[in-house]
Amino acid sequence: MTAPAVHGPAQLHGPARLYGPAALPGPRGPLSAAVLDALLRAPGSAHPEEWPPVAGVGPYSEDLHLALHLCYELHYRGLRGVATAWEWDPELLRLRARLEREFMDGLRTDAAGGDDVTSELDELLAEPVGGAGTSRRLAESGEWWQMREYFVHRSVYHHKEADPHALVIPRLHGRAKASLVAVEYDEFGAGRAEDVHAQLFVDLLGGAGLEPGYLHYLDDVPAPAIAIVNMMSMFGLHRGLRGALVGHFAAAETTTAPSSRRMVQALERLRADPACVHFYSEHVEADAVHEQVMRRDVIGGLLDDEPELAPDVVLGIQATGLLEDRLAHHLDTAWDRNTTSLLRPLDE
């Protein structure tokens, strides 16, 4: 992956900084190559003709998800060497809308749909989604190299843990807003920087001998894990998808307490560093409470005010299950063959 000429390679692609902006990854196809090429020029310089066609590229493809992730990262800590004005560049936003449509069409096609929020949430408890399968596998027979790969996949989310969900706050009010903010307050460390969950994950990476820099592993992580974060960003950035964001958040909180318990078992069996165990043990108790708050007060409050959002809440729950299942399937397929699940193996 060659560095673009206008900036020195070390400046753009060198070691990740702890808190961002992220180093630029290499392209994975024409769409991500076009976005990377544009971002290294002056904002306002992109033309409609330079974007490759999106239709037919596939809602879960590597190229689409890296391109979308780059567009979204401009709203978080940003990309190294990229002008901040790209965040609201109309031409880039036009491309982003096409990428989102392709992804969203795929999710709507593959999700079963419906409007029964209660039974969707009950089903999550009875029939755990993909993340649960992976934590079970890791608890029962996981090896340390698989655990480290799992951390790397999840790092693209946990570096910005709970940030995508904060985007929905201005779109809520009353009980839903007060309760979602209470959950976010815990995610953001309840007033203590050292307890911010994203920081606990940085500590976990250090404990596992992995590079803790912001999005350091973006070049290594395949689309199944990136798609989960893109889904959160897409739901968070569109007011029209606030129901889906809330549904996703509730689904995530419902499934993390039991899977975190299995992760603790796995990490203790593997005698992992205490920082690794701590990240998951912190989520066992917190998320049991968060699940109740999300269900009763956030979803309850939202649907009391806006009952017409029930199908969107269901979509958020089902899309989460769908994408978590895709990641679990990806991990199983690679690990069953005893090969890396990443785009390139980790250096030991």
Q: How big is the site for Fe ion, counted in residues (CB under 5 A)?
A: 4
Does 197 participate in binding Fe ion (rule CB under 5 A)? yes
Least distance between Fe ion and beta carbon 186 (Å): 6
At how many degrees (to 10) do helices 310-336 and 117-126 cross?
Answer: 20
b/e map of 246-266 (b: 16 or more CB within 10 Å)? bbbbbbbbbbbbbbbbbbbbb
Least distance between Fe ion and beta carbon 137 (Å): 22
What is the distance between the alpha carbons of residues 341 and 329, in angstroms, rounded to a whole number?
A: 10
CA dihedral 320, 260, 219, 38 (to 10 degrees): 40
What is the distance between the alpha carbons of residues 204 and 151, in angstroms, rounded to a whole number?
A: 8
Does 248 participate in binding Fe ion (rule CB under 5 A)? no
Query: Whats the size of the chain, residue-wise?
Result: 348
Answer whether 173's CB lies under 8 Å from 305's CB: yes
Among residues 301, 296, 267, which one has the least CA distance to residue 150? 267
Q: Which residue is nearest to Fe ion (CB)?
A: 197
Q: Which is nearer to Fe ion, 290 or 326 (CB)?
A: 290
Q: Which is nearer to Fe ion, 223 or 327 (CB)?
A: 327
Does 290 participate in binding Fe ion (rule CB under 5 A)? yes
Does 154 participate in binding Fe ion (rule CB under 5 A)? no
Q: Which is nearer to Fe ion, 80 or 165 (CB)?
A: 165
The binder of Fe ion chosen from 63, 100, 163, 287 (CB under 5 A) = 287
Spell out, one character per residue from 164 to 193, where the chain touches Fe ion: x when CB under 5 A holds, - when not.
-----------------------x------
Least distance between Fe ion and beta carbon 164 (Å): 12
Q: Which is nearer to Fe ion, 88 or 185 (CB)?
A: 185
Least distance between Fe ion and beta carbon 36 (Å): 31
Among residues 225, 236, 222, which one has the least CA distance to residue 63? 222
At how many degrees (to 10) do helices 310-336 and 130-141 cross?
Answer: 30
Least distance between Fe ion and beta carbon 77 (Å): 18
Least distance between Fe ion and beta carbon 339 (Å): 30
Least distance between Fe ion and beta carbon 319 (Å): 19
78 φψ region: left (φ > 0), alpha (ψ -120 to 50), beta (else): left
* 3-62: contacts with Fe ion (CB under 5 A): none
Using CB under 5 A, which of the segments 120-128, 280-288, 324-332, 333-341 binds Fe ion?
280-288
Distance of CA 28 to the CA centre of its chain: 19
Does 136 participate in binding Fe ion (rule CB under 5 A)? no
Least distance between Fe ion and beta carbon 254 (Å): 10
Answer whether 346's CB lies under 8 Å from 220's CB: yes
Binding site residues, Fe ion, CB under 5 A: 187, 197, 287, 290
